[in-house]
């Protein structure tokens, strides 16, 4: 093993990677199992419209990021991180017990409670997992470490989504299989967390401010004082806006534009996720193991170019009347171009986000790093909510899904230009990287 993959053989990284992967995996097994259960059996659990409840699930999961991120950042700066990770994974086991009861009955309030608590679990874990990397990895390993975390996260989302849907589809016993699987994954996550090495707290005397509003505002002000860090946070948040805009539209795009069934939706999600994983893993090779801001403009160029090409490659809505399976879709003219665009959007997304995560980690003060990452998580959540609202407005105004992708591509170009105008270092490093003459950090 060499390069970033060597980290997977070392205790200072592997237990954290496995813990993070299983946590993201469990999030998505639970979410997708719940969504499908509500879609098909929601009427017997509640009088509320199942379609409304499915949309509410996304909001319920993301709400804790607004409520608890500020506190999570403070806890990660104040307490020893490996112990915090074990406590968070213990909480996950308790949450899965609540979910198991909710699936068993079935009981909608219990399931929604479990979903909210899993959102809180992810909120508490986020600042710890990113702030612990600089404590256990050398600077020339941060690109590779972040790449593995990002690729693992998106693959966990993919596999969790597939497994959740598969389990709940196993007839009347599907919800029991889903609850048992979620509990098992949580237990394995706790066992993995016991191997995470100690990471001493940077500010053990920190006084916790339990007011999320004032602490969030204070953290954002602190992040803004370091322009390089703040622009990295904005860039990462924009990536989550961009990703949310695409991922949320795959079902409609597959059905209405491509004439595909559920297997085509799965194909789109798989290729997009694999693309992000591949792009993330290539970052270390392209940057020579250094934190290379020049990859960020390179990534943003691809995010715009291939999304524009996807707009021109996609058939008009309603152009295909039949519901094609994945194999039948692959036989259609133009299908490979569409799939190549999605893979390349993912690849360039990896080029774009991995260096930004590394910049945020290395250029923030160690004493405030977890709170800075908490601020990033809050803005990520906000940008995803804005993406959902913008999609609702544009689709309601008559835009097609492919036109929504085009709007996102154009917005990406403007956002990138704005960030690079504020911080010319990105463009300077981009041209230096192209010339293979890296400049020193400024």
Lowest mean pLDDT among 109-113, 126-130, 323-327: 323-327
Q: Is residue 220 part of a domain?
A: no
One domain for residues 15 and 141: yes
- Residue-wise pLDDT for 379-404, tens only, equals 999 999 999 899 989 988 999 999 99
Residue 59 lies in a domain: yes
Q: How many domains does the chain have?
A: 2
Contact 283, 350 (CB under 8 A): yes
Task: Give domain status of residue 217, yes or no.
Answer: no
Q: Could you tell me if 20 and 88 are in contact, meaning their C-beta atoms sit under 8 angstroms apart?
A: no
CATH value at residue 78: 1.20.1250.20
Domain boundary, last residue among 173, 204, 235: 204
Domain-embedded: residue 50? yes
Q: Are 186 and 96 in contact (CB under 8 A)?
A: yes
* pTM recorded for the entire structure: 0.90
From 204, 238, 263, give the residue that closes a domain. Answer: 204
Structural domain contains residue 396: yes
Q: Evaluate whether residue 222 is within a structural domain.
A: no
Q: Which distant-in-sequence residues (6+ apart) come within 8 Å of 414 by Cβ?
A: none
Q: What's the confidence (pLDDT) of residue 51?
A: 66
Q: What is the maximum alpha-carbon separation in the chain?
A: 64
189, 204, 219 — which closes off a domain? Answer: 204
- 200 and 248 inside one domain: no
- The mean predicted confidence, pLDDT, of the chain is 92
Asked if 189 and 297 sit in the same domain, the reply is no
Structure tokens at 58: 């996304």
Q: Which of 47-51, 113-117, 379-383 has the lowest mean pLDDT?
A: 47-51
Q: What is the mean pLDDT of residues 407-435?
A: 92
User: Alpha-carbon torsion 61, 62, 65, 67, what sign?
Assistant: negative
In a shared domain, residues 131 and 168:
yes
The answer to the question of residue 209 being in a domain is no
Of the chain, the end-to-end C-alpha distance in Å amounts to 33
Q: Which of 24-38, 143-157, 313-327 has the lowest mean pLDDT?
A: 313-327
Q: DSSP H helical segments within 210-294, as ranges?
A: 212-224, 227-247, 250-252, 262-287
The predicted structure's pLDDT at residue 440 = 47
197, 248: one domain: no
Q: Does residue 258 belong to any structural domain of this protein? A: yes
- 399 and 303 in one domain? yes
What lies within 8 Å, CB to CB, of 261 at 6+ separation is 254, 255, 323, 324, 325
> Which pLDDT score is estimated for 437?
52
| Residue percentage of the chain with pLDDT more than 90 | 74
Chain-centroid distance, C-alpha 128: 16
**Tokens read off for 253:** 């795009």
Shared domain check, 373 and 301: yes
Helices (H), 49-198: 50-78, 81-104, 108-136, 142-168, 174-193
Residue 129, domain extent = 1-204
300 shares a domain with 189 = no
297 and 422 belong to one structural domain? yes
Q: What angle do CA 394, 400, 402 make, to 5 degrees?
A: 110
Q: Are residues 269 and 418 in the same domain?
A: yes
Do 142 and 250 belong together in one domain? no
Cα separation of 185 and 156, whole Å? 12
Tens-place pLDDT, residues 2-28:
679 999 999 999 999 999 999 999 999
Let me know whether 190 and 263 are in one domain: no
């Amino acid at each position: 093993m060499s390069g970033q993959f060597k980290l997977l053989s070392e205790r200072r990284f592997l237990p954290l990677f496995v813990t993070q992967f299983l946590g993201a995996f469990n999030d998505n097994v639970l979410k997708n199992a719940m969504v499908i259960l509500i879609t098909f059996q929601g009427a017997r659990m509640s009088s509320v419209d199942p379609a409304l409840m499915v949309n509410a699930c996304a909001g319920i999961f993301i709400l804790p990021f607004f409520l608890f991120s500020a506190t999570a950042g403070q806890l990660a700066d104040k307490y020893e991180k490996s112990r915090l990770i074990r406590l968070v994974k213990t909480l996950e086991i308790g949450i899965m017990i609540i979910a198991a009861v909710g699936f068993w009955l079935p009981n909608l309030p219990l399931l929604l409670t479990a979903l909210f608590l899993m959102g809180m679990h992810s909120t508490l874990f986020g600042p710890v997992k990113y702030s612990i990397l600089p404590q256990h990895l050398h600077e020339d390993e941060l690109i590779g470490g972040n790449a593995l975390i990002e690729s693992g996260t998106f693959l966990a989302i993919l596999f969790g989504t597939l497994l959740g849907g598969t389990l709940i589809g196993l007839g009347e016993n599907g919800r029991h299989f889903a609850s048992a699987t979620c509990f098992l994954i949580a237990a394995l996550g706790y066992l993995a967390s016991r191997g995470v090495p100690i990471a001493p707290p940077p500010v053990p005397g920190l006084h916790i401010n339990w007011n999320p509003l004032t602490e969030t505002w204070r953290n954002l002000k602190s992040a803004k004082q370091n322009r390089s860090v703040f622009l990295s946070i904005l860039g990462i948040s924009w990536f989550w806006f961009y990703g949310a805009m695409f991922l949320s539209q795959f079902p409609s795009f597959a059905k209405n534009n491509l004439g595909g069934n559920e297997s085509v939706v799965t194909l789109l999600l798989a290729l997009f996720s694999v693309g992000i994983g591949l792009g993330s893993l290539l970052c270390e090779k392209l940057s020579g193991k250094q934190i290379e801001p020049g990859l960020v403009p390179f990534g943003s160029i691809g995010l715009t170019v291939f999304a524009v090409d996807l707009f021109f490659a996609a058939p008009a809505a309603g152009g295909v009347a039949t519901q094609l399976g994945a194999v039948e879709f692959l036989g259609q003219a133009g299908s490979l171009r569409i799939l190549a665009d999605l893979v390349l959007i993912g690849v360039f997304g990896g080029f774009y986000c991995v260096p930004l995560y590394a910049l945020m980690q290395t250029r923030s003060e160690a004493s405030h790093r977890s709170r800075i990452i908490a601020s990033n998580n809050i803005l990520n959540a906000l940008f995803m909510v804005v993406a959902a609202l913008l999609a609702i407005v544009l689709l309601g105004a008559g835009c097609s899904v492919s036109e929504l992708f085009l709007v996102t591509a154009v917005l990406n170009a403007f956002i990138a230009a704005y960030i690079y105008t504020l911080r010319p270092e990105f463009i300077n490093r981009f041209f230096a990287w192209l010339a293979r003459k890296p400049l020193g950090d400024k």
